[in-house]
Amino acid sequence: MEKGVPMYLVTVLLFALACSLASAFDPSPLQDFCVATKDSDEFVNGKFCNNPKDAKADDFFFSGLDKPGISVARIDFAPYGLNPPHTHPRGTEVIVVLEGTLYVGFVTSNTDNRLFTKVLNKGDVFVFPIGLIHFQWNMGNTDALIFAGLSSQNPGVITIANAVFGANPPINPDVLTKAFQVDKNVINYLEQQFK
Amino acid sequence: MEKGVPMYLVTVLLFALACSLASAFDPSPLQDFCVATKDSDEFVNGKFCNNPKDAKADDFFFSGLDKPGISVARIDFAPYGLNPPHTHPRGTEVIVVLEGTLYVGFVTSNTDNRLFTKVLNKGDVFVFPIGLIHFQWNMGNTDALIFAGLSSQNPGVITIANAVFGANPPINPDVLTKAFQVDKNVINYLEQQFK
Amino acid sequence: MEKGVPMYLVTVLLFALACSLASAFDPSPLQDFCVATKDSDEFVNGKFCNNPKDAKADDFFFSGLDKPGISVARIDFAPYGLNPPHTHPRGTEVIVVLEGTLYVGFVTSNTDNRLFTKVLNKGDVFVFPIGLIHFQWNMGNTDALIFAGLSSQNPGVITIANAVFGANPPINPDVLTKAFQVDKNVINYLEQQFK
Amino acid sequence: MEKGVPMYLVTVLLFALACSLASAFDPSPLQDFCVATKDSDEFVNGKFCNNPKDAKADDFFFSGLDKPGISVARIDFAPYGLNPPHTHPRGTEVIVVLEGTLYVGFVTSNTDNRLFTKVLNKGDVFVFPIGLIHFQWNMGNTDALIFAGLSSQNPGVITIANAVFGANPPINPDVLTKAFQVDKNVINYLEQQFK
Amino acid sequence: MEKGVPMYLVTVLLFALACSLASAFDPSPLQDFCVATKDSDEFVNGKFCNNPKDAKADDFFFSGLDKPGISVARIDFAPYGLNPPHTHPRGTEVIVVLEGTLYVGFVTSNTDNRLFTKVLNKGDVFVFPIGLIHFQWNMGNTDALIFAGLSSQNPGVITIANAVFGANPPINPDVLTKAFQVDKNVINYLEQQFK
Amino acid sequence: MEKGVPMYLVTVLLFALACSLASAFDPSPLQDFCVATKDSDEFVNGKFCNNPKDAKADDFFFSGLDKPGISVARIDFAPYGLNPPHTHPRGTEVIVVLEGTLYVGFVTSNTDNRLFTKVLNKGDVFVFPIGLIHFQWNMGNTDALIFAGLSSQNPGVITIANAVFGANPPINPDVLTKAFQVDKNVINYLEQQFK
């Protein structure tokens, strides 16, 4: 049934709590807040902050606050929309279902690669531990809506299919052929989907 | 206009990510996850975990996962409902407005005790830094709804009025009279509201 | 008896371990030390350090050391002097009584808003957990002296009365009237004490 | 050329610095060391430690020390052996090449899914940032040997192919078909390799 | 002048903020506080806490509070008393001089093994960075008194002379002879002082 | 037997994961990585990073990656070579023996100053807890080789003999005479070895 379904069924709207260019870290704060400067050309770990005297309420609104240690994302699903298998290298995720019915799951690490799945309805909450591969799938023919909290303001996202078969430049096909233990034609076919 | 409005206009539904009895901490995890045991009589920092082999998907659902480092709360406001001035001693808060129009604010520490306020509409996001006093007020005559992410699974809540004038046993009235620099009758009147 | 007692009975002398202008954080150090530059115009998380080759003993003396993760404060009390209810948004406090007799207390979070109090004499030690509202009151007619250690070099101080009734600009009186459940005249009276 | 090469060409010998059953975390230690008890039936975050008086040198030898915050792994490669694309959900990895020539690489997160690769010879060092997908491949027809340090004593390993196509129970084929944008036959073929 | 001066001139009174038997760690708290149980026979990282309902003010008094992340010490010096070269493996130290005049110093790591010294008088504050070798010496013929704050409730103390020449059992004399590049007789002489 | 053995028997090759000039810290990262700029004249906690778009594989190769939270060292021992008693003020160390037979040990803190020793052979692993004094000695008449992982990219090294008897300027001989409880001639003799 997912045939013909366009790719961007899932809209992830991560509220950008940190400027995307500057490298920063998640320690304990030493001031009430640090409003990151927006117009700096420098890349600095530990961002430049504006003079606290110059802070204004808008700095906390969709939000220039540096290092809150947390971020929130709104994820909209079209009917049968999928947020495909991915990991957040730097954050645990907690989701709350606002609308719709979702089938969600995650796989543990190599200890046993177990799959945990659950059908979630409105009001349900589910947790995806840091770094584990997980997915969310709208099972119904209506829109679905979830909110996600992540334990870092820049948790990162690695969509498995894109990172493995759509890397730029591509990963050596010999590596992938051996890793997935299939014929090289299959790898070529997979890589063509992510060009 | 808030006269006659009943007290419990604001429903805060904190999704209980950690058992309330056990003491726990927010470090980096060393396993994929730890599902806290629910039936222990012991109070232990660093909870007892179930055998990972016995974990099941429901353990991640409204959620037994120990130490995710994050929690989410749904906050419902009746018309003109107020989430009164409070602090979270152990967490920064990020909110997202889903319905309604809210007037929100926080006050910085003694450096200057500045008040930052903002009127938020649907889709707006705002950040309240850790430990600072803040409030959210539904300005409209319709219900309002926000979701909050907090940077700890047990951030704590201290409602200022309740902690200061409704402590149990009460704080010595001489302390409060001097602290608020008013007549002792005023302190008595305030304390009576929180008995 | 506190009538007519002037306001600044309590002298808190926080040894300024970090420059007040620069935003900084409390992680684990990667060098023996970082002496923050004093004359920078920039606001930066993760301060500029002087060249370690240029460090001198005075840099560790009343103290330019960046990020020691700790600070100490000397607090002098006049007879019947009060350090009024306040919180440290970013630090746990340990005090040691050197002279005098103090009545101290703190209130737990909303779980039960319990008040814990104790009369402390010379040599006694007491702990105020991070973010909780607490106070110290000199019960005697002689001076008192305590030393406090705080688990951050910039723990912050929020004096409740000042932040709530003396914010700048003032918090909307409707918010405070509802929060403290009293007549608006009482709120006006309280706010006038902190102008 | 990798045809006919048996699967387990890569021997990863992770020196087990923590007991595998107990849940534990990576904070700062408060004692000189904590030797975890080996024979406990309890699962506890924050392990039981032996009485420090009973510690002996063997406790630090292949190593019972709890929470060292670090682990080391020896990885042996047969000729053309591959350590296939994988992530460590809880650790950054640093490797040192002792013997042989390796082709290594990692892919950044969804920002751009860029592939970084490098040919490493004896004495070379390379870093794989936390949570990113990476691989190491012995390019030569002789054995290769590397040592890896990881920034946690239980960094975890998720081999992408196994977690995605070999989860137990399998991930719903509709999810994988949509995620990899290929015919369901291809997914079935891939899943059969990991049964 | 220090000839004939008895050894225990320096009294370090570390206020014991954590039970000495239990292994514990310094993360962020998840409850308002955890009062460690005193009578447990178990050694556990992450201590057993008493039921918070059973806490009383005395638990915060000379102090049963678990994991405050900080400790304070009172150090009394007889005339010409020395707190000999030592390190704190798990804490930065800040001192405040209350009485007397002290000559203090610390040595940086192998980068250059530089000595930083300072004469401190009443009211002076000095910082000793984590893990560096330092000492405090009462230069005068009157008593001296300092208070120290340390950035862990169990920072540890390693007195260099005792650890190197008074270890139990002794370090192999060949190791010490080579390390200090002196005749073995000198090592034997030194070791005899610490038996 | 160690007579006549030249000093630099032990070659510690610490792979320099961080630029030596810039001050930096070990928190959790907020980006995939931060490649520190090499040519900056500024000293900054939280280094300047290059624009991530400009990163190349060589940045991860002997390694410009900022804040990996870990470092590795190769240590080569001549026959009977000694890595003399030292501490790492900011890191726990794990070693793996690749060649030779080593006698290793560490001393606990003042609780009891106990010495833990072990003879290690090829393949053995041993852990030295953060901040404790330890040593490694090649017992045999052949070369030995170990790899060490350290839980910080800048753990620091303090060689006890050098820091105590070779500080620059020298520690006051009265301090050392009293600390080691020996004749001042012995201190002078020791200090002469480290000039």
pLDDT beyond 90 at E27: no
Residues of A in contact with C23 (CB under 8 A): 29-31, 34, 49, 52, 66
**Of D61 and B167, which is predicted with more confidence?**
B167
pLDDT beyond 80 at D80: yes
Max avg pLDDT among A15-29, B24-38, D5-19, E102-116? E102-116
Are residues F91 and F133 located together in one domain of the fold?
yes
Q: What is the pLDDT, as a whole number, of residue E6?
A: 35
Are residues E29 and E55 located together in one domain of the fold?
yes
Q: What is the pLDDT, as a whole number, of residue F50?
A: 62
Mean model confidence pLDDT for chain E: 76
pLDDT beyond 60 at E20: no
Mean model confidence pLDDT for chain A: 76
- Residue numbers of the domain that contains C56: 18-68
Average pLDDT over residues A58-68: 57
Q: Which of D30, D41, D44, D67 should we substitute to test contact with E (largest number of E Cβ atoms within 10 Å)? A: D30
**DSSP bridge pairs for F144:** F77
Strand order of the β-sheet with E102-107 is E115-120, E102-107, E133-138, E82-87, E158-159
pLDDT beyond 90 at C187: yes
F38-54 tens-digit pLDDT = 443 333 333 445 666 67
Q: Is C172 on the interface with F (CB under 8 A)?
A: no
Average pLDDT over residues C73-85: 90
pLDDT beyond 70 at D41: no
Taking only residues 56 to 75 of chain C, the set having a beta carbon closer than 8 angstroms to any beta carbon of chain E reads: 56-58, 60-63, 65, 68-72, 74
Average pLDDT over residues E15-22: 30
Domain count, chain C: 3
Taking only residues 104 to 133 of chain E, the set having a beta carbon closer than 8 angstroms to any beta carbon of chain F reads: 105, 107, 109-110, 112-115, 117, 129-133
Distance in angstroms (rounded) separating the CA atoms of residues B61 and A126: 5
Are residues F34 and F45 located together in one domain of the fold?
yes
Q: What is the pLDDT, as a whole number, of residue F171?
A: 95
CB contact under 8 A, B90 and C131: yes
SS (HEC) of E78-117: CCCCEEEEEECCCCCEEEEEEECCEEEEEECCCCCCEEEE
Distance in angstroms (rounded) separating the CA atoms of residues A82 and E89: 50
Measure CA A44 to chain center.
23
Q: What is the pLDDT, as a whole number, of residue A5?
A: 32
Average pLDDT over residues C168-191: 93
Asked if the bond preceding D155 is cis, omega within 30° of 0, the reply is no
Chains with 3+ CB–CB pairs under 8 A to C are A, B, E, F
Residue of F18, F25, F44 with shortest CB distance to C29: F25
Residues of F in contact with D125 (CB under 8 A): 15, 61-63, 72
Q: What is the pLDDT, as a whole number, of residue D169?
A: 92
Q: Give φ, ψ of E19 to 5 degrees.
A: -60, 140
Q: Is D99 annotated as a binding residue?
A: no
Q: What is the pLDDT, as a whole number, of residue E28?
A: 56
**Of E2 and D83, which is predicted with more confidence?**
D83
CB contact under 8 A, E32 and C124: no
CB contact under 8 A, E45 and D67: yes
Q: What is the pLDDT, as a whole number, of residue D61?
A: 63
Average pLDDT over residues C86-104: 91
B138-173 tens-digit pLDDT = 988 999 988 888 888 788 999 999 999 999 999 999
Taking only residues 10 to 39 of chain E, the set having a beta carbon closer than 8 angstroms to any beta carbon of chain F reads: none
A122-176 tens-digit pLDDT = 888 888 989 999 999 998 899 998 888 898 878 899 999 999 999 999 999 999 9
Distance in angstroms (rounded) separating the CA atoms of residues A33 and B111: 12
Q: Give φ, ψ of A179 to 5 degrees.
A: -65, -40
Lowest-confidence region among A23-37, B87-101, C132-146: A23-37
Are residues B80 and B130 located together in one domain of the fold?
yes
Max avg pLDDT among C16-30, C145-159, D58-72, F166-180? F166-180
Distance in angstroms (rounded) separating the CA atoms of residues F8 and E191: 25
**DSSP bridge pairs for E104:** E118, E136
**Closest approach of chain D CAs to the CA of E72, in angstroms?**
15
**DSSP secondary structure, A6-36, as one string:** -STTEEEEE---S-SSS--B---BSSS--BB
| Cβ partners under 8 Å of residue B153, min gap 6 | B17, B18, B24, B26, B67, B68, B69, B70, B71, E30
Q: Give φ, ψ of B46 to 5 degrees.
A: 75, 90
In chain E, which residue ranges form alpha helices assigned H by DSSP?
160-165, 173-180, 184-193
Chains with 3+ CB–CB pairs under 8 A to A are B, C, D, F
C139-171 tens-digit pLDDT = 889 999 888 888 887 889 999 999 999 999 999
Average pLDDT over residues F142-160: 89
Q: What is the pLDDT, as a whole number, of residue C67?
A: 59
The pair of structure tokens assigned to E173 is: 């004399």
Do residues F120 and F83 make contact, with C-beta atoms less than 8 angstroms apart?
no
D136-175 tens-digit pLDDT = 999 889 999 888 889 887 889 999 999 999 999 999 999 9
CB atoms within 10 A of CB C99: 16
Are residues F103 and F167 located together in one domain of the fold?
no
CB contact under 8 A, B43 and E49: yes
Cβ-count burial of B35 within 10 angstroms (0-12 exposed, 13-18 middle, 19+ buried)? buried
Distance in angstroms (rounded) separating the CA atoms of residues D173 and D163: 14
Q: What is the pLDDT, as a whole number, of residue B6?
A: 35
Q: Is F103 on the interface with E (CB under 8 A)?
A: yes
Average pLDDT over residues E37-63: 52
Residues of A in contact with C65 (CB under 8 A): none
Are residues D174 and D146 located together in one domain of the fold?
no
Q: How confident is the model at residue B60 (pLDDT cuts 50, 70, 90)?
A: low
Q: How confident is the model at residue F67 (pLDDT cuts 50, 70, 90)?
A: low
Distance in angstroms (rounded) separating the CA atoms of residues B134 and B158: 11
Are residues C143 and C84 located together in one domain of the fold?
yes
User: What is the percent of chain A with per-residue pLDDT over 70, rounded to a whole number?
Assistant: 65
Are residues E63 and E75 located together in one domain of the fold?
no
Are residues D140 and D182 located together in one domain of the fold?
no
E94-107 tens-digit pLDDT = 888 889 999 999 99
Residue of B42, B43, B152 with shortest CB distance to E28: B152
CA-closest candidate to residue E22, choices D23, D63, B22, D31: D31
Strand order of the β-sheet with B158-159 is B115-120, B102-107, B133-138, B82-87, B158-159
CB contact under 8 A, E65 and C127: yes
**Closest approach of chain E CAs to the CA of F107, in angstroms?**
6
Strand order of the β-sheet with B93-99 is B10-14, B71-77, B144-150, B93-99, B125-128
pLDDT beyond 90 at F25: no
Q: What is the pLDDT, as a whole number, of residue D124?
A: 85
Q: What is the pLDDT, as a whole number, of residue B51?
A: 66
Which run of H or E residues covers position E42? none
Are residues C84 and C131 located together in one domain of the fold?
yes
CATH of the domain at B8: 2.60.120.10
**Of B25 and C74, which is predicted with more confidence?**
C74
Are residues D3 and D99 located together in one domain of the fold?
yes
CB contact under 8 A, F90 and C28: yes
CB contact under 8 A, A25 and F46: yes
Q: Is A83 annotated as a binding residue?
A: yes
F166-191 tens-digit pLDDT = 999 999 999 999 999 999 999 999 99
Q: Is A168 annotated as a binding residue?
A: no
Q: How confident is the model at residue A112 (pLDDT cuts 50, 70, 90)?
A: confident
**DSSP secondary structure, A41-110, as one string:** ---BSS-BB--GGG--GGGGBTT-BS--S-EEEEEEE-TT-EEEEEE-TT--EEEEEEES-EEEEEE--T
Distance in angstroms (rounded) separating the CA atoms of residues B171 and C115: 7
Q: How confident is the model at residue F162 (pLDDT cuts 50, 70, 90)?
A: very high
Sign, Cα dihedral of F60, F61, F67, F69:
positive
Q: What is the pLDDT, as a whole number, of residue A85?
A: 96
| Cβ partners under 8 Å of residue E141, min gap 6 | E79, E80
The pair of structure tokens assigned to A129 is: 């531990």
Are residues F101 and F174 located together in one domain of the fold?
no
Mean model confidence pLDDT for chain F: 76
Q: What is the pLDDT, as a whole number, of residue E104?
A: 94
Q: What is the pLDDT, as a whole number, of residue B3?
A: 32
| Cβ partners under 8 Å of residue A82, min gap 6 | A2, A9, A10, A135, A136, A137, A138, D175, D178, D179
Q: What is the pLDDT, as a whole number, of residue F59?
A: 65
Q: What is the pLDDT, as a whole number, of residue E39?
A: 43
**DSSP bridge pairs for A17:** none
